[in-house]
Copies of this chain bind each other. A is one copy, B any other.
Amino acid sequence: MVEADASAPCTDPDIGNVAQARRRTRGPSLDKTAQTRQQIAEAALAEFVEVGVARCTMDRIARRAQVAKGTLYLYYPSKDELLRGVVEHALRHSAVYTALQRKKGETVRAFLRRSLLPTMDAVENSERGLLARLVLSEASHAPELARLYKELAFDAWQTYVQDLLTLAVKEGELKTRSVSRSAQLLASPFWMALVHNSLLAPDAPQKLALKPLVELLIDNLFSRSAGDNANVKSQ
Contact = CB atoms under 8 A, between A and B. Distances in A.
Interface of A: 135-137, 139-140, 146-147, 149-150, 154, 176-178, 181-182, 184-185, 187-192, 194-196, 199-202, 208, 212-213, 216-217, 219-221, 223-224, 226
Copies in the complex: 2
Contact of A184 (B190, B201, B208): B208
A150 B191 contact: no
Contacts of A191: 188, 191-192, 194-195
Contacts of A136: 136, 195, 199
Given A184-B189, A184-B213, 14 more contacts: A135-B200, A139-B200, A146-B200, A149-B200, A150-B200, A150-B201, A185-B216, A187-B192, A188-B191, A190-B192, A191-B194, A217-B220, A220-B221, A224-B226
- SS class of chain A's interface: helix, strand, loop or mixed? helix
Nearest to A199: B139
A90 to B, nearest CB: 15
Contacts of A154: 196, 200
A220 B184 CA distance: 14
Contacts of A140: 137, 199
B195 A213 contact: no
A216 B177 contact: yes
A113 to B, nearest CB: 14
B178 A146 contact: no
A53 to B, nearest CB: 13
